[in-house]
Amino acid sequence: MPEFDLIARIRERASLRADVLLGIGDDAALLRVPAGQLLVVSCDTLNAGVHFPLDTAPADIGHKALAVNLSDLAAMAAQPAWCTLSLSLPEADADWLNGFLDGFLALAHAHGVALVGGDTTRGPLSIGVTVHGFVPEALALRRAGAQAGDELWLTGTLGDAAAALTLRAATTPVDPLLTARLNRPTPRVAAGLALRGLAHAGIDVSDGLLADLGHVLAASGVGAQIDLARLPTSAALAAAIGESGRWPLQLGGGDDYELCFTAAPEQHAAIVAALAAVDTPVQVIGYIAAAPGVRVLAADGSAYTPSQSGYQHFAKPHHE
Amino acid sequence: MPEFDLIARIRERASLRADVLLGIGDDAALLRVPAGQLLVVSCDTLNAGVHFPLDTAPADIGHKALAVNLSDLAAMAAQPAWCTLSLSLPEADADWLNGFLDGFLALAHAHGVALVGGDTTRGPLSIGVTVHGFVPEALALRRAGAQAGDELWLTGTLGDAAAALTLRAATTPVDPLLTARLNRPTPRVAAGLALRGLAHAGIDVSDGLLADLGHVLAASGVGAQIDLARLPTSAALAAAIGESGRWPLQLGGGDDYELCFTAAPEQHAAIVAALAAVDTPVQVIGYIAAAPGVRVLAADGSAYTPSQSGYQHFAKPHHE
């Protein structure tokens, strides 16, 4: 199957939007950005064997490749609009491509995102995605902006994806709910939009809570306290791994793609209501302090020293 | 050298523009598109050993990775503005990265392009670039729009890059001028801008003249005649390879990144003047015909049958 058949297959399955004047099929896409909004752009690449296990299903790879990018738009409180796809394949495999597109395009359609371009190359399996969205300038959710006294919030639950990887590595049976969190992360787009005007600063947890929170704190010039007892934990994780075993996963493991954000305490009720309206669980896990650094407190108030403070990863796709 | 050092190195060397409200260092970039202009987006990935020889100098790889993308903007008559960079590296090598950035950023600066984001991952050497530019809607140069009777034009010269690859494969000494055309292609950005309002249709020659012209003809529903004797040939190519040997390279070889475009004959003088003003050589190589297909005529008027009609490449980066 030559490249043009690949592109034709992708093109015939891509849907369009009214703001796409020219999509797949020319030297570049022609797109209309709404007046009064900023363009928001992010890109993340997933490499086989590094960012997903080699035996991951093609549809899961397709889902995840777009999800991790939409997660970055969510973390800016942006409305997703378009994406491009750079697909490097060791061979032209129609079944693989169809499965991949099933996962990729289902998520794209769910978020009204049009695939407007890309390229296909021969090489080791690698998927590069660039996403584009919109946000009014005053409503963008940046890393800078956290203020001492802010409540520290987190959507969803933490540690499920890292638990799936850890259990898998130990050849322990893995609850499919945990595996689904690793392979099919939910980008918190609706939550990001709901937080417009409410949150001071935010980031998505892709590299681990301590690592990603660290970026917010560094950008904002503040510190934080986290209460271990308040870390939101799924029932599946609680059933699989005891507290002391899961804390390092929840603090240091990546791939959760939850939103971590800070907001003034006066916004507490508004945030609870806004996220309930988009069916997104959310919880306060600590607060922002003026003094730099992160203090993690156990339930008895003693300081907890993480055994794994956000693994240093040359490998993670990182959107800076 | 962990990932964050890589990103810091890239970040400290990236320059900004007034329309970049937030560049490298958050979950996504925040960018302002000028009112009344369309956003133009294209992406191409280069894989080591597929799109460039493994021994290519890092600075050449950096130059080429951006150049092939700017070439797509040129082919839309767009003004380049921003780019993102997805860099997959087998190891974190500071010398390699510095060399790569030398080539990449020198070309970016020459075109006023700001690097606004990207990611670094561990994996086989691969460089994914997404470029963004602007064009007023009425002035975009598409593939569709060629009309019977149009003159068929080409910037620069053809076949140099393919000759460099061919001679190299034959372990024949290669004129550095030919190698430079392969490793350091010139994106015809100024020519694309100069053609606004003058050309009917255009494309950049990345996959070979016949293949790329074929896209224009298919999109426009027309055919073309090419006169072999008018194919622009560099002195270096003419000195290295005889006519019958170089024609297949000029018709079927890729990597030239010249612009191929069509325009009404009445625009002939205006096009010559507009491209002279931006120091871009340009030549008529044939015309657009109503009947589909491409006829290639030798100097004596006989039909020439190309031995290589644009190689079928699963491998080429292709921006559809």
Question: Tens of pLDDT along B23-66?
Answer: 998 999 999 999 999 999 999 999 998 889 899 999 999 999 99
CA distance A67 to A180: 13
Helix runs in B143-194, H state only: 160-169, 176-183, 189-194
Check B38 against A30: CB less than 8 A apart. yes
Predicted pLDDT of residue B313:
37
Residue B176 phi, psi (nearest 5): -55, -25
Tell me how far CA of residue B40 lies from CA of A30, A319, B81, B116, in angstroms: 5, 21, 10, 16
**CB nearest A72 (choices: B27, B88, B123):** B27
pTM of the complete model? 0.93
**CB nearest B28 (choices: A41, A47, A122):** A41
Q: Predicted confidence band at A309 (pLDDT cuts at 50, 70, 90)?
A: very low
**CB nearest A130 (choices: B1, B46, B84):** B84
Nearest CA to B102 among B51, B64, B71?
B64
Question: Residue B221 is which amino acid?
Answer: G
CB A106 within 8 A of CB A136: no
Interval B112-146: pLDDT, tens: 999 999 998 888 999 999 999 999 999 999 999 99
Interval A284-295: pLDDT, tens: 999 999 999 999
A39 interaction partners in chain B (CB closer than 8 Å)? 30-33, 39, 132
**CB nearest A88 (choices: B31, B47, B73):** B47
Interval B207-258: pLDDT, tens: 999 999 999 999 999 999 999 999 999 999 999 999 989 999 999 998 999 9
CA distance A116 to A33: 14
Q: Among A6, A21, A26, A137, which would you mutate to test the B interface (most chain B Cβ atoms within 10 Å of its Cβ)?
A: A26
Neighbours of B312 (CB within 10 A): 12
A33: left (phi over 0), alpha (psi -120 to 50) or beta: beta
Q: Which residue of B has its CA nearest to A32?
A: B38
Q: Work out the average pLDDT over A59-73.
A: 98
Interval B64-92: pLDDT, tens: 999 999 999 999 999 999 999 999 999 87
Q: Predicted confidence band at A315 (pLDDT cuts at 50, 70, 90)?
A: very low
Q: Predicted confidence band at B100 (pLDDT cuts at 50, 70, 90)?
A: very high
CA distance A71 to A80: 10
ipTM score here?
Answer: 0.92
CA distance A188 to A194: 10
What DSSP string describes A109-124? HHTT-EEEEEEEEESS
Predicted pLDDT of residue B293:
94
Check A31 against B39: CB less than 8 A apart. yes
**CB nearest A21 (choices: B7, B35, B38):** B38
Nearest CA to A208 among A247, A262, A266?
A247
Q: Check whether B96 has a pLDDT greater than 90.
A: yes
Six-digit token string for A31: 């797109």
Interval A78-137: pLDDT, tens: 999 999 999 999 987 889 999 999 999 999 999 999 999 999 888 899 999 999 999 999
Element (H, E) at A103: helix A94-110
Check B47 against A122: CB less than 8 A apart. yes
What DSSP string describes A133-193? EEE-GGG---STT--TT-EEEEES-SSHHHHHHHHHHTT----HHHHHHHHS----HHHHH
**CB nearest A117 (choices: B29, B118, B320):** B320
If one compares B16 and A4, the residue with the highest pLDDT of the two is: B16
Neighbours of B68 (CB within 10 A): 27
Distance, in angstroms, between B98 CA and closest chain A CA? 17
CA distance A263 to A271: 9
B51 interaction partners in chain A (CB closer than 8 Å)? 121
Q: Predicted confidence band at A3 (pLDDT cuts at 50, 70, 90)?
A: low
CB A263 within 8 A of CB A197: no
Distance, in angstroms, between A235 CA and closest chain B CA? 29
Distance, in angstroms, between A300 CA and closest chain B CA? 35
Q: Work out the average pLDDT over A270-282.
A: 98
> What residues contact B272, with CB distance under 8 A and at least 6 apart?
B282
Q: Which residue of B has its CA nearest to A205?
A: B27
Question: Residue A121 is which amino acid?
Answer: T
Check B3 against A142: CB less than 8 A apart. no
Q: Check whether A317 has a pLDDT greater than 50.
A: no
Please give the DSSP secondary-structure letter assigned to residue A303.
B
A24 interaction partners in chain B (CB closer than 8 Å)? 320
Predicted pLDDT of residue B305:
81
Q: Which SS3 state, helix, strand or coil, does residue A16 take?
A: coil
Quote the distance between the C-alpha of residue B180 and its chain's center. 14
Check B43 against A86: CB less than 8 A apart. yes
B26 interaction partners in chain A (CB closer than 8 Å)? 76, 142-144, 219, 320
Handedness of CA A55, A57, A62, A63 (dihedral sign): negative
Interval B275-319: pLDDT, tens: 999 999 999 999 999 999 999 999 898 999 865 444 433 334 433
Predicted pLDDT of residue B9:
80
B213 interaction partners in chain A (CB closer than 8 Å)? none
Which residues on adjacent β-strands are paired with residue B119? B86
Q: Which residue of B has its CA nearest to A31?
A: B39
Nearest CA to B125 among B43, B55, B47, B10?
B47
Instruction: Count Cα neighbours of A274 within 13 Å in the Cβ-side half-sphere.
Output: 17
CA distance A131 to B33: 16
B310 interaction partners in chain A (CB closer than 8 Å)? none
Question: Residue B124 is which amino acid?
Answer: P
- List strand residue ranges (DSSP E) for B177-263, in order: 201-204, 223-227, 259-263
Q: Check whether A269 has a pLDDT greater than 90.
A: yes
Interval A178-220: pLDDT, tens: 999 999 999 999 999 999 999 999 999 999 999 999 999 999 9
Q: Predicted confidence band at A319 (pLDDT cuts at 50, 70, 90)?
A: very low
Check A119 against B50: CB less than 8 A apart. no
Q: Parallel, antiparallel, or unpaired: how do β-strands B126-135 and B79-89 relate? A: antiparallel
**CB nearest B2 (choices: A33, A47, A312):** A312
Q: Among B27, B50, B96, which would you mutate to test the A interface (most chain A Cβ atoms within 10 Å of its Cβ)?
A: B27
Predicted pLDDT of residue A5:
73
Q: Which residue of A has its CA nearest to B92?
A: A314
Check B72 against A27: CB less than 8 A apart. yes
Predicted pLDDT of residue A307:
59
Predicted pLDDT of residue A273:
98
CA distance B291 to B312: 24
Please give the DSSP secondary-structure letter assigned to residue A48.
B
Q: How many CB pairs under 8 A join A and B?
A: 251
CB A135 within 8 A of CB B30: yes
Six-digit token string for A34: 């709404």
Q: Work out the average pLDDT over A13-23.
A: 88
Check B84 against A11: CB less than 8 A apart. no
> What residues contact A166, with CB distance under 8 A and at least 6 apart?
A241, A249, A253
What DSSP string describes A37-100? -EEEEEEEEEEBTTTB-TT--HHHHHHHHHHHHHHHHHTTT-EEEEEEEEEEESS--HHHHHHH
CB A96 within 8 A of CB A61: no
Predicted pLDDT of residue A122:
87
